[in-house]
Structure 1
Amino acid sequence: MTDSMLFFIKAVFLGLIEGITEFLPISSTAHLLLVGDWIGFDSGNAKVFEVVIQFGSILAVMWVFRSRLWQLVHGTFTGVRSEVLFTRNLIIAFLPAAVIGALTIKYIKMLFHHPIVFVVTLIAGGLIMLWVERKPHFAKNASNETAASEHVSARTLEEISWRQALAVGFAQCLAMVPGTSRSGATIISGMLAGIHRKTATEFSFFLAMPTMLAATAYDLYKNGVGISPDVSVAIIVGFIAAFLSALLVVRALLTFISRYTYRPFAWYRIALGLVVLLWLWRSGAM
């Protein structure tokens, strides 16, 4: 097997990893960088590969929600109040990350070179998720239905307030730190703000669309000129793999959260963080 063929196989593998992890609250960035390092995949210092294939996952969620997305666009331009308010909330939630990200992107990228950051964010994120899911109003049993009803003020996307959207937007800024998880930060913050678990997940999906489109466009603008032909092909195959795998995960996640909590993902984050910590210690990187 030639080096080029092996390089493309690794790109497909990482594309599958991206599609599987992007919408799960376990940090796709952590998985891409850790697995990429493990298999010896080098796409260059700019990390354009990792960012662009993430947009493949976003296109997958756009396809899954294509009917609702068309309803949103059409309703906004025709003045349907509920759709106009939904669009307003997406803009409100998008702006904090856009502004803060533009101001801090240089410093944030420096964190990608420190694996211990992944350990801290993975474990801390898992502990926060466990803490949130232990609250009575998030419990999945009948005895807590009253508490849940009192806490949850938005059971549909149209019922989300601008304050709740802003809270989710600021939480999305935390996801700039490697290992935090964009979906995890936005979903959990939405639940804490009073948005129903399934609705918070769907809002996170919709918010990912402008966020990742902006991130992809920015990285291509800043680093696209220097991409080699091999990396360009790797991006394409990784993009396709991410799109196809994300199609399956999005539908499966929505089914899962309608029946269960996010606790399994919290324990997975903690376990992964401990594994990375052990690896750093064994390799003398600490």
Structure 2
Amino acid sequence: MTYIEALILAIIEGVTEFLPISSTGHMVIASTFMGISNNALTKNFEIVIQLGAIVSVVVLYWRKFFTSFRFYLKLGFAFLPAAVAGFFLKNHIDLLLENIWVVVAALIFGGIILIFTDRWFRHAEGTEEQEISWFQGLRIGCFQCIAMIPGISRAAATIIGGMAVGLNRRTAAEFSFFLAVPTMLGASAKEMMDTYQTIEKHDAAILVFGSFVAFLVAMVAIRTFIGFLKQHGFKWFGYYRIVFGIAIAFIAFLRNL
């Protein structure tokens, strides 16, 4: 992997991680078209650079993370379903990550869902901060498991899950950001434990570079997303997913991927 390829993937991660358009799906597609999808470093890179995105959440919402131990307990409780599912389904998930057609189908299906999301959850118009119960957090964590299918989008699954349990858009989106921290930290730590012995000096530099770029881009993306969501809702993300999915399917068909 070159630094240019790392830069492209890190920007994609930073922009898409907290938007309901699937960061994993976008990175799988980008790495496939760059011809590096089967590279061992690429697979590590796509998981480890999420650490940069994690840090952006902690920096932007530091008061949440450094003022309440109860907050950590709730996040840990909400993370449990994904931790259990990830432990038992990791091999199956890895196989899905290699199939671009799974990503295409998930992008289009998720786009259709997002187009109707604002109609289904009209109660979610408020912007006041809400207290999330333990049971609500656990149910959102169950929604997060759906996002193990590449292309579904962890952000989309958890935000819609949040609104389904009674949260408004802002609270659901912010809890989605918070829940990303233990989720991505766990995934990154597991990947590093499995592969650290194979990482060479050049690879380590690429990983650090990518994480830093993802951090900077995610900082901007999070702030922009909250403002856009308040004003326009989810439908434009739905349209984007459908158009993007169809375009990728057409290109993949021409290239016999």
Taking structure 2 as the reference length, the TM-score comes to 0.93
**Residue 30 (structure 2) pairs with residue 58 (structure 1):** no
1:156 matched residue in structure 2: 129
1:178 matched residue in structure 2: 150
Distance 1:247 1:34 in 2: 23
**How many residues are aligned here?**
256
Aligned partners of 2:28 and 2:100 also within 8 Å: no
Matching residue within 8, 21, 45 for 1:13: 8
SS at match of 2:49: helix
- Per-residue CA deviation, residues 102-139 of structure 1 (Å, 9 max, x unaligned), is 1110111011121110011111111111222122x42x
Aligned partners of 1:197 and 1:257 also within 8 Å: yes
2:23 matched residue in structure 1: 28
> Which runs of 5 or more residues in structure 1 are unaligned?
77-83, 139-147
Distance 1:267 1:237 in 2: 32
**Residue 79 (structure 2) pairs with residue 132 (structure 1):** no
1:261-272 pair list within 5 angstroms: 261-272=233-244
CA RMSD of aligned residues (A): 2.0
**Residue 241 (structure 2) pairs with residue 245 (structure 1):** no
Structure 1 range deviating more: 206-215 or 223-232: 223-232
Distance 2:117 2:20 in 1: 13
1:142 matched residue in structure 2: none
1:143 matched residue in structure 2: none
| Structure exhibiting the larger radius of gyration computed from Cα positions | 1
Aligned partners of 2:116 and 2:235 also within 8 Å: no
Distance 2:64 2:82 in 1: 24
SS at match of 1:258: helix
- Per-residue CA deviation, residues 168-204 of structure 1 (Å, 9 max, x unaligned), is 1011111111111111110011111111100000001
1:279 matched residue in structure 2: 251
Question: % of aligned pairs identical?
Answer: 38
Matching residue within 189, 196, 199 for 1:224: 196
> Which runs of 5 or more residues in structure 2 are unaligned?
none
Matching residue within 206, 227, 243 for 2:178: 206
Distance 1:42 1:170 in 2: 29
Distance 1:234 1:216 in 2: 15
Distance 1:107 1:39 in 2: 24
The letter of the residue matching 1:124 is F
2:45 matched residue in structure 1: 49
SS at match of 1:26: coil
Distance 2:190 2:44 in 1: 10
The letter of the residue matching 1:156 is E
